[in-house]
């Protein structure tokens, strides 16, 4: 059975754009989806001789008043996708910069013990140093990306599939 990679992050950071880049619109075959629910978008990603399932999610919402637990901010879909996943790709928006909701999501992901690959998207037209602040999320140096231009996608694929 193929490894499962979930794309997680706030709405509008570019998860679906990255999903399209990773899958080139290849639908996951039903046979590959054993044990996964069908109500999210699954695609088939390939890199060299490696293949894995990607899950797109609607995104984890903004904090409303800061009083609730992380559960309050997470769409059920994202939650379920995270639990289905072997690997999480956590997408943040380099144009928006680091915001509180990113830190909340990071904190939750740290508690999971799954491998997390941090992607700083929308790096087109911003200074290269813009991704540096995301180091504070605790997942190391982010993968710099401009998903809508296909930039940085191969680099991420290389890293994601290294142990597959
Ligand atoms: P999602 O809500 O996380 O799935 O985000 P989407 O993939 O729908 O993208 C949200 C918006 O950001 C869209 O208007 C995309 O065209 C735009 N976007 C996605 N990736 C990039 C990028 O690398 N650079 C720029 N400038 N815009 C991007
Ligand atoms: Mg989307």
What mean pLDDT value characterizes the chain?
Answer: 88
pLDDT of residue 34: 74
**Minimum-distance ligand to the CA of 41?**
2
Sign of CA dihedral 101, 118, 11, 147: positive
60-102, pLDDT tens digit by residue? 765 445 555 444 445 677 888 999 999 999 999 999 999 999 9
Asked whether residue 13 is marked as a ligand-binding residue, the answer is yes
Question: Which ligand 1 atom sits nearest the alpha carbon of residue 9?
Answer: 3
User: What mean pLDDT do residues 34-57 have?
Assistant: 88
Instruction: Give the rounded percent of residues in the chain with a pLDDT score beyond 70.
Output: 90
Angle 99-153-109 from CA coordinates, rounded to 5°: 40
User: Looking at ligand 1, which residue's alpha carbon is closest to its atom 9?
Assistant: 14
Q: How many angstroms separate the Cα of 98 from the Cα of each of 38, 52, 120?
A: 32, 29, 10
**Lowest-confidence segment of 7-11, 28-32, 42-46, 47-51 by average pLDDT:** 28-32
Distance 34 CA to ligand 1 centre (A): 30
Strands 41-47 and 50-56: antiparallel
pLDDT of residue 67: 52
What is the total count of domains within the chain?
A: 1
Domain residue limits at 74: 4-161
118-153, pLDDT tens digit by residue? 999 999 999 999 999 999 999 999 999 999 999 999
For residue 136, give both structure tokens. 């504070």
Q: Is 17 in the pocket of ligand 1 (CB under 6 A)?
A: yes
CB 81 within 8 A of CB 55: yes
The domain spanning residue 105 has which CATH number? Answer: 3.40.50.300
Q: Is 43 in the pocket of ligand 1 (CB under 6 A)?
A: no
pLDDT of residue 30: 73
Alpha carbons 154 and 145: distance in angstroms, whole number: 10
């Amino acid at each position: 059975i193929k490894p499962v990679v979930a794309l997680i992050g706030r709405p509008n950071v570019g998860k679906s754009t990255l999903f399209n880049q990773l899958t080139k619109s290849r639908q996951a075959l039903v046979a590959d989806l054993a044990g996964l629910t069908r109500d999210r978008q699954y695609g088939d990603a390939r890199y060299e001789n490696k293949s894995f399932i990607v899950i797109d999610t609607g995104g984890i919402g903004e904090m409303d008043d800061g009083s609730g637990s992380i559960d309050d901010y997470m769409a059920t879909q994202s939650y379920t996708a995270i639990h289905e996943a072997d690997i999480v790709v956590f997408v943040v928006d380099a144009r928006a910069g680091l915001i509180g909701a990113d830190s909340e999501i990071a904190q939750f992901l740290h508690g999971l013990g799954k491998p997390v690959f941090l992607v700083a998207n929308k790096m087109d037209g911003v200074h290269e140093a813009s991704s540096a602040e995301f180091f504070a999320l605790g997942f190391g140096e982010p993968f710099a990306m401009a998903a809508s231009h296909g930039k940085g996608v191969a680099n991420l694929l290389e890293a994601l599939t290294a142990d597959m």
